[in-house]
Amino acid sequence: MKYRLRYFLILAVVTFLGVCCKSKGEKPRNNYPVEDSLLFKTALPWHIDESSGLVYIHGLWTHNDSGDDPVVYQVSTSKRSMLRSVSIKDIRMKDWEDITHDGKYMYIGDTGNNSGSRYHLLIYKVPIDSLLKEKTRYVDAEEIIFHFPDQTDYYPGSYNHNFDCEALISVGDSLYIFSKNHKNMQCRMYALPKSPGVHTARLIDTFNTDGMITGAAYDPDEQVVALLGYRVRDYLVVRSFQPFVWLFYQYPGRDFFRGKSKRINIPKALQMEGICYFRDGKFFISNESGSQGDGAVYLFDGGKWLEEPTRPLHPPPDTIYPQ
């Protein structure tokens, strides 16, 4: 008994010292406010098991990220129901990761790059008028092809690089894309023109998001940019997701990372990848199906976290292209 007690005392001391040393050497990661009141709206239909992007155009639209046909789905926000499905003609789906719009066109980002080996990334430009016609089942799309100006290694190994891309928004005459950095957990922002053709993305800025960015949304009323993302922890065969939302506001011009910012952690262990603006400072968020549950849609109130005013102090001109 005496030796057993001594053993447990030594074990407790070693454990305590190990925890102290570990915490001293690690950057604190949970010193952000926590949003524990996401409003559950509905589960997604069974076949939409990898909802990777969301957009609100006279209703909520989403898509799978891979392993599906090139289809966008309009879904109900109040019950598990698909309202419509529309196929994009004459294209092959590789890795759809996000979707946005500018009132005239829907933009679908085939930009997933887990392996880091894609040189040409794609954004499909779809006329909204064609999409919304009641009996439309197929629509044509133009292609915006681009590559990153700062990527030189196209054989880095899967999930071992900073050139994945899963987030896209439209502001003015430009598309803005946000990198998903597996290696350093930061995010780079690039700008692209909306014209079809082949382009080199323009690097704007970098921000330490302290996690991987999986979706983006823009509130045109208050001019707030929202980035959705998560950190991942592996526990043997189980993956635990730790999602969050970054909000950017009061930025100069369109340099979103140079204004005020706030991160809100979401205490749901879900792989959240889709986000879009709804109204009144609120955003829809979706998660993929997985061990933690089925795909679903939630409502996130971003407005309550922001200080007034939220708009840029010096609004930019509508056009920033050509450079």
Alpha-carbon distance of 284 to 300, in angstroms, equals 6
**Are the beta carbons of 203 and 165 closer than 8 angstroms?**
no
Q: With b meaning 16 or more CB within 10 Å and e meaning fewer, what string describes 59-77?
A: ebbbbbbeeeebbbbbbbe
For the chain, domains (ranges, CATH) are 30-305 (2.120.10.30)
Task: Report helix, strand or coil for 27.
Answer: coil
Residue 177's H or E segment, with its range, is strand 174-180
Residue 2: the pLDDT is 40
CB 211 within 8 Å of CB 185 = yes
Structure tokens at 323: 């450079």
Question: Tell me, what's the pLDDT at 17?
Answer: 40
pLDDT of residue 94: 94
pLDDT at 320: 56
**pLDDT given at position 262:** 96
Q: How far apart are the C-alpha atoms of 225 and 218, rounded to whole Å?
A: 5
Asked whether the beta carbons of 206 and 186 are under 8 A apart, the reply is: yes
CA pseudo-torsion sign 261, 102, 61, 178 = negative
Q: What pLDDT, on a 0 to 100 scale, did the predictor assign at position 81?
A: 96
- Nearest 5°: phi and psi at 17? -65, -40
What's the pLDDT score for residue 10? Answer: 40
Residue pLDDT tens, the chain, 323 long: 443 444 344 434 333 344 344 333 334 455 688 887 899 999 999 999 999 999 999 999 999 998 899 999 999 999 999 999 999 999 989 999 999 999 999 999 999 999 999 999 999 999 999 999 988 999 999 999 999 999 999 999 999 999 999 999 999 999 999 999 999 999 999 999 999 999 999 999 999 999 999 999 999 999 999 999 999 987 666 678 999 999 999 999 999 999 999 999 999 999 999 999 999 999 999 999 987 789 999 999 999 998 877 877 666 655 555 43
Q: What are phi and psi of 256, to 5 degrees?
A: -60, -30
DSSP 293: B
Closest CA to 111 of 123, 100, 93, 102: 123
Q: How confident is the model at residue 20, as a pLDDT? A: 43
Taking the C-alpha atoms of residue 267 and residue 233, their distance in angstroms, rounded to an integer, is 14
DSSP class per residue in 216-266: EEEETTTTEEEEEEEEEEEETTEEEEEEEEEEEES-STT-GGGSEEEEEE-
- 285 secondary structure, DSSP code: E
How far, in Å, CA of 320 to CA of 256, rounded? Answer: 14
